[in-house]
Structure 1
Amino acid sequence: MHLNTQRLLARHVWHTVFRNRAVFWLFGLVGLVAGYAAWSGWTTFRQQKASQHYYQQEARRDWLSNPDKHPHRMAHYGHFAFRRPSPLSLFDPGMDRFLGNAIYLEAHKQNTVNFSEAGFSTGLMRFGDLSIAMLLQLLLPLLIFFLGAGSIAADRENGTLRLLLSQGVSWTNLLLGNSLGLFMVGLTLLAPLLVVAAVLWLMAQSGAPSVDEVIRFGLLIGFYGLYLALCCVVAVLVSAWSRTTKTALVSLIGLWLMTTIVLPRASQALGTYVYGLPSKTEFQTAIQADISKEGDSHNPDDPHYKSLKDSLITAYGVKTTDELPFNYSGYVMAEGEEISAAIYNQHYNTLLERFRQQNQFARATAFLNPYLALKNLSMALAGTDFLSYVDFQQQAETYRYELAQKMNELQMHHIPNKKLGPTEKAYSIDRKYWQDVPDFTDRPLSVGQVLPAEWVSVVAFGAWLLLLTFLVHRAAHRLTAV
């Protein structure tokens, strides 16, 4: 009986909404914007994928085309690491366009990711990138609030609410039935957008997505559906507590502004204030200061490396480094690389910890704002969040370190210790050794690694679900017809 009543009320909401011709024009306009967002996401994805593939091959070709050369010169010649765009980035680009997609890798130094689209764009990108995810996170709730403001308040104004209650319709049925009706209306926008996203997502993977990608997309559908349901219940509850539709609409718009603009900016600003970061100059200066304390591997008179030379001469029972069974300079370079990499990693880990603290602070506000919970989960599942960026940078650093040490190893075993005269040709090794260095290939995080990092957002969603269930139950016992 209760389900039948709720279905009748839901059907009534559906017919009431679509009886207004203006709604069709509104939905049509949203459809046009969504179409542009889908086209933009697909075009950007294809361009990024083609660009990454081309430049990665170009970097590899340049590396292999080097002639016979000294290994240490090759270590300083360096290489490039490019990040492949995630298939779901066409749905939610997240931080991709702000954080960059390429790193120049060279010996003795860790560089940051460069070539972000935001760096080549106007300031308009600061307001967000138009995408399907952005429409579902921002525009869909606003439409639901507009359409749901009068769901119960309008009946109270025209006297229909008193009539419904006198006929035995309970407040629980009214709240749930109207919420269900709004949810059905929201699905008319959500479902087509998700279908379009699914088609583009399949095309991005040539129709053969991995199991991990299928799980990611399935979870995205679930979380966006839950977010839509939460917005519908909130709209109906506010309408039920409001005396007029106008009051409900003003309250809902204020709530939308607070959750989508004020709270996100405030939490970000407060997190940055509480967990401050050093400037780029301060950060680089601190690294160079620590490296200087450990010594300069390019300076033969450096105290640290002079001590290292003495210990090697003693250990091998020789008189000079020229008599060592390996190239001494290569050994020193390997030692210097290990020391500098450890110092860089220590400073970067400290910096990343500050970023994590800022992000955790922002995540905690998801308990006040479900919009932030959805945004964090959406970026994480799309592979466009900060964690994915950090993982790429760490993979690139591992590759850089192994590349530098490979060149140092080649120098140790293939370059003689004998010092060259001023007229002698510089030592070099055969170019065939460049092929022994594999090309860089980034490996995206699995969904099993991504979700645990967003446990706060998942728990926040659950908390909001429980809270709204409680509020519906409480409102059903306290609301009146007047």
Structure 2
Amino acid sequence: MKKNNTAIWQMLIKKELLVIYRNKTMLISTVMIWTLFVAAAICTYLDYQSAHKQRIEANTIFSQQWAHQQRNPHDAAHFGTYLFKSINLLNVFDTGLNDYTGNTYRIEAHVQHEPDAANAEGNDSSMRFGRLTLALILQLLIPLLILFITATSMTTEKEQGTLKMLLAQGLSTSRLIWVKVISSYLFIVTVVLPIFLLMTMMLLASPGSDILLTRLLWMILAFLLYFLFIALLGILISAWSGNSGKAILTALSCWILMSIISPKLLTGIADHSYPPMSRAAFTELVEQGYRKGLNGHDPYAERGERFVKNILKNYHADSVSELPFNIEGLTFQYHEDYRNMVFNHYMAQVAQQFDKQQNFLTIAGVFDPFISIKRISMALSGTDYYHHQYFFKQAQTYRNHLIKKLNLQLAMHSKDVKGEYILGPKYFARLQNFDDQLPPIHHVIQLNQIGLYAIAGWILLLAALLQFIASRSLARYYELA
């Protein structure tokens, strides 16, 4: 009996796949999707090669400039250098926020910078339309194809008169619906499987594939879940609709609302509800906090004098000439530490607003799975807000450590030097290079687990609704239609 049941399922699924295969519109759509994927894959790889080459060249130039200088340590800190966010193939698979948040960090004494030099600056087409990426096709075009396949699957049976015939032959409504779901999903998996294989091969041929492969596998799993959700949604629309025209219109409306209108609307609400301060206001607050103190009553000059007096008191010295080190270097570092404290104080306020925006969008993703899959895709590609902040914190830590090292070098080694204390290339070449790392994958998954649960929850909800529609009480509707 079980073998006979399995054979019936296989026969029905094979029949549905043949119907989809013989549909010229579906075949043309599939060819167009694959063509776009090949074009996007080529553009992605070329973008990666170009960006990777530019980063290497820029790093080489600034490293050489830094290592070959002959300067006083504090002058070298003012001369500074640039740090560049590392790039991998997944970054260009889904560019996310990378085009807008900047990938360059300036190191300079007495000034705390933020990542800058965003690719979208001065690029009107990038600002308006973004770029054709593999993620864009997976997020927008594949779901549209799924909806066109599934939205008319039940209505076509009814319009052609085959639904009554199938039910009359003893085929249950439940089995018919789930055959439609399984066959449609298998077809889509067949369409996207070559794409996922291509992505995997491209990734294995790139540096750091051992770390990135786990991220890609999680991404593939997330997209497969999302495609199952879309397939269930399309079948549900088809089951509820009276005719194919109405089903197509409903499906297209759902796609536009879920993928275009809702993300724009909810992002605007998040920005309006939790507006961060402007960069000009932030810069002014940092400068005033440094000059007048965080409390507004601790001026720069008084802080410096108090610091020197405390040092003299601790060393039981009457003047700075009696100290065993150059007080200038320690004073530089004291003011540097205070500026860092002020910067971090106001940056925490800015970050708090951005965190609220991110939390709002996470909750919004529960009601709109497209937002969830988009955020998951950016997170696993390393191009979301969290990865931007992760790079910024690493760069800031490196910058603070480097400036401190140079100031302490001046303090501890220039006391008895006649004339100006100069360091040469031998010293600067020994300083540690910046090497930013990706956050652990389990942290990324943890931050996006609500999105994954949301998609899984929608799948269960739609499956339950389909099962309800397929119940005997509603089967009569199809028999009488």
TM > 0.5: yes
Question: Hey, what does 1:435 align to over in structure 2?
Answer: 429
Take 2:370 and 2:286, find their aligned partners in 1: how far apart are those partners? 38
Q: Following the alignment from structure 1 to structure 2, what is the Cα–Cα distance between the partners of residues 263 and 232?
A: 20
Q: Judging changes above 3 Å, is the alpha-carbon distance between structure 1 residues 216 and 272 closer, same or farther for their aligned structure 2 residues?
A: same
Match of 1:50 among 42, 50, 53: 53
Q: How far apart are 1:37 and its partner, in Å?
A: 0.6
Question: How far 1:367 sits from its partner (Å)?
Answer: 1.5
CA distance in 1, matches of 2:144, 2:188: 11
Q: Determine if contact 1:415/1:429 at 8 Å carries over to the other structure.
A: no
Distance in structure 2 (CA, Å) of the matches to 1:213 and 1:402: 29
* Superposition map of 1:3-14 within 5 A: 3-14=6-17
Gaps of at least 5 residues in structure 1 are: none
1:149-191 Cα shifts (integer Å, max 9, x gaps): 2100111122211221222212221111001111122123211
Which residue identity does 2:440 align to in structure 1? S
**Shift in Å, 1:7:** 3.1
Distance 1:176 1:301, change over 3 A: closer
Q: How does 1:380-399 map to 2 (within 5 A)?
A: 380-399=379-398
Distance between the aligned counterparts of 2:435 and 2:284, measured in 1? 31
Q: How does 1:6-405 map to 2 (within 5 A)?
A: 6-67=9-70, 69-205=71-207, 209-210=209-210, 212-294=211-293, 302-405=301-404
2-structure distance, mates of 1:94, 1:7 = 41
Instruction: Provide the rounded CA distance (Å) in 2 between the counterparts of 1:311 and 1:352.
Output: 35
Deviation at 1:449, TM superposition (A): 1.7
Contact 2:150 2:231 in 1 (8 A): yes
Instruction: Pick one of 452, 456, 473 that aligns with 2:467.
Output: 473
Is the contact between residue 80 and residue 109 of structure 2 (CA under 8 Å) also seen in structure 1? yes
Instruction: Please report how far the alpha carbon of residue 89 of structure 1 lies from its aligned counterpart in structure 2 after TM superposition.
Output: 2.1
The percentage of counterpart residues that share the same residue type is 25
Seen in structure 2, the aligned counterparts of structure 1 residues 376 and 6 have a Cα distance that, compared at 3 Å, is farther
Q: Separation in 1 of the partners of 2:353 and 2:155?
A: 47
1:287 is paired with a residue whose SS is: helix
Cα distance between partner residues in 1 of 2:453 and 2:374: 14
Amino acid at match of 2:45: W
Residue correspondences, number: 470
CA distances 1:114-135 after superposition (whole Å, capped 9, x unpaired): 2222114224443332111110
**Residue of structure 1 equivalent to 2:441:** 447
SS in 1 for 2:106: strand
Length-normalised TM-score, structure 2: 0.93
Alpha-carbon distance change, 475 to 218 in structure 1, aligned in 2, over 3 angstroms: same
Q: Which stretches in structure 2 are left out of the alignment for 5+ residues? A: none
Superimposed CA distance per residue, residues 387-413 of structure 1 (whole angstroms, 9 cap, x where no aligned partner): 111100100000000010001111101
Amino acid at match of 2:303: H
Gap change, CA 1:28 and 1:221, over 3 Å in 2:
same
Query: Are the aligned partners of 1:99 and 1:113 in contact in 2 as well (CA < 8 Å)?
Result: yes
Question: What's the Cα RMSD here?
Answer: 2.0
1:88–1:382 Cα contact (<8 Å) kept: yes
Distance 1:280 1:430 in 2: 37
**Cα distance in 2 between the residues matched to 1:169 and 1:18:** 23
Summarize the Cα distance change of 1:236–1:3 in structure 2 as closer, same or farther, 3 Å threshold: farther
**CA–CA distance in 1 between the matches of 2:12 and 2:352?**
51
Structure 2: which amino acid aligns with 1:108? H
CA contact (8 A) 1:59 1:79 kept: yes
Distance 1:24 1:466, change over 3 A: closer
SS at match of 2:83: strand
CA distance in 2, matches of 1:393, 1:334: 21
Q: Following TM superposition, by how much is the alpha carbon of 1:301 offset from its aligned partner in structure 2, in angstroms?
A: 8.4
Give, in whole Å, the separation in 1 of the partners of 2:340 and 2:43.
Answer: 40
* Aligned-partner residue type, residue 25 of structure 1: I
The residue identity in structure 2 corresponding to 1:57 is: T
CA distance in structure 1 between the aligned counterparts of 2:444 and 2:341, rounded to whole angstroms: 27
Query: For the structure 1 residues 169 and 59, does the alpha-carbon distance in structure 2 shift closer, same or farther, using more than 3 Å as the test?
Result: same
Q: Which amino acid aligns with 1:183?
A: Y
* Conserved? CA contact 2:120–2:126, under 8 Å: no
Give secondary structure in 1 for the equivalent of 2:310: helix
In the alignment, is the contact (CA less than 8 A) between 1:8 and 1:177 conserved in 2?
no
Cα pair distance change 1:471/1:3, threshold 3 Å: farther
CA deviation string 1:228-249 (max 9, x = no partner): 1111111111101111000100
SS in structure 1 of the partner of residue 105 of structure 2: strand
Residue aligning to 1:462: 456
**What is the CA deviation profile of residues 345-403 of structure 1, one whole-angstrom value per residue up to 9, with x for unaligned ones?**
12112211211110111111111111111111111111121111110010000000001
Tell me the TM-score normalized by structure 1: 0.93
